[in-house]
Structure 1
């Protein structure tokens, strides 16, 4: 029980995110300070995606690229199953949930998978790590392109306020730095690898800055006057239901298609994640500033929930693998 509770405990980064929300709620940035902070935030976002591009190893992609059935299933879960579930939720909850929260719930369904946690949980559970590296990297690379395109198509058609001009902006502000970082990897890749812990701080610092800026503007525009604890609790329940549905479907389909246990683990963990590191910056570019705070709230809840649930699930897979090896 102690081990289970320790794995369910929020990590330090989640606590830092909560601290940024509390700080923005109590001391939101106002007036003349808004423009300089906004410029710094956009610079931090560009740096974040530049570093993501510099970290992307072509060798890691090529190493697992041959397992195409697995990769197609992971990508189908990320960019087909999730968006379909998001459309169902958006239709079913119209009028029952704050529009920006509902938009945020749908937006998280369009995001790519995580890289670090997908690989970490796959390794912990005894899955196919090489395939996980390839799938998670491919998901993030394609997500820079597919997420804004899906958002522009589905949200614009549904009146969500995303214009094609905003989609163009995300290519300039996110994809161009990402591509530049990857093209420069030959010269800066070794430095990036040597300073990975420091650059991890840049990652987290950039996200915290975006969250603080977004929630500041949302608070100034009356976010907490519109939302109550019932909204947040409902959002948590919906996030849990969404995650559970994807875990069940990916597990059932991978077994039905005859994948090995190691490949099933990779499919489940890579196909059920959504990237906070990509989602928060994208939301700040795609949506009006006053709405971003509420829109990223579902993603923040889902982020912590997926970490807690997948930590327990990884332990279950690892224990089952040990039992199989003992029996064999």
Structure 2
């Protein structure tokens, strides 16, 4: 890896009470509840949201280094293990949640719970937690990148198969939206990365605000539509508590499967850490825009489980990473001092 284009990942705090961005998301939801947009304003917000989603996936494509991802193929067993956790084991647990309807979750919340299980893994937090726990950081970088690339295709395809009969429906129109709003911008970003990659690397901070602002716009539009449609009466405190409980069980299961399953497969400590953190996470940044395309007016309930799971995974994985950082290393093994590429 080119060290001239690298920077070290800052250590994460041992405990993350609340991710500041989650506070911004909560504030956006409250704003949508108090001042939902409707009529012509809703049409304008919807158009802006569509453009924001396309911009997000263009930036995702422009940031992902295809060369580095291909270079990481030499560790193919690890990457296949992470992909299996993300797009096979997670969906199987999501399908099992059908048994919670109608006793614990409403059908709409269960659809959101299942959608959560179909979303790709994160890149940034997986890398940061792996670094903190002294795991295989280059493997985490490649695993997160592979998951994001695969998710562009696999998440919509899995949603078509597993959620085709849900309230949001999955039609040819949905497929066309996926191609135009997600796949085409992503591929355009990859093709233009040679020319725009430097600019994006130099303006990471500003473009980070663009990313987050775009997602907030998507959330505001989706939750406004939910308020206008009157669907939020379905989310009672009891249902919300049940959803949190189901997500806690899901996270615990995935942390256990990724950790102990990778041990059974013969991976070493550093690789197991990368597998656990990349294989147990779900990307809020990728999932929210995808939900807005796949679910349309039903997106507000569909993204609620993902938003809650995102905060839960940050808190739990911060504690695990801190504990792993104190684990004694095998004889002769040195602490990992990896760097993460800027571009």
TM-score range, shorter chain: over 0.9
Q: Structure 1 CA distance, aligned partners of 2:273 and 2:190? A: 29
The 5 Å alignment of 1:164-175 reads: 164-175=172-183
Other structure's SS at 2:277 match = helix
1:21 corresponds in structure 2 to 29
Change (3 A) 1:324 1:162: farther
1:327 positional shift: 11
Partner deviation per Cα, 1:274-300 (whole Å, 9 max, x = no partner):
1111111111111131x1111100000
TM-score, normalization by structure 1:
0.94
Q: Is the 8 A contact 2:94 2:117 kept in 1?
A: yes
| Higher helix proportion (structure 1 or 2) | 1
2:160 corresponds in structure 1 to 152
1:131 corresponds in structure 2 to 139
How many residues align? The count is 324
The 5 Å alignment of 1:119-268 reads: 119-156=127-164, 161-268=169-276
1:129 positional shift: 0.8
Change (3 A) 1:171 1:321: farther
Determine whether 1:302 maps to 2:288: no
Q: Structure 2 CA distance, aligned partners of 1:217 and 1:266? A: 39
Q: Structure 1 CA distance, aligned partners of 2:144 and 2:72? A: 11
Q: Is the 8 A contact 1:152 1:164 kept in 2?
A: no
Q: Structure 2 CA distance, aligned partners of 1:168 and 1:316? A: 46
> Is there any run of 5+ residues in structure 2 with no aligned partner, and where?
1-11, 336-343
> Is there any run of 5+ residues in structure 1 with no aligned partner, and where?
none
TM-score, normalization by structure 2:
0.90
1:93 positional shift: 2.7
Aligned residues: CA RMSD = 2.0
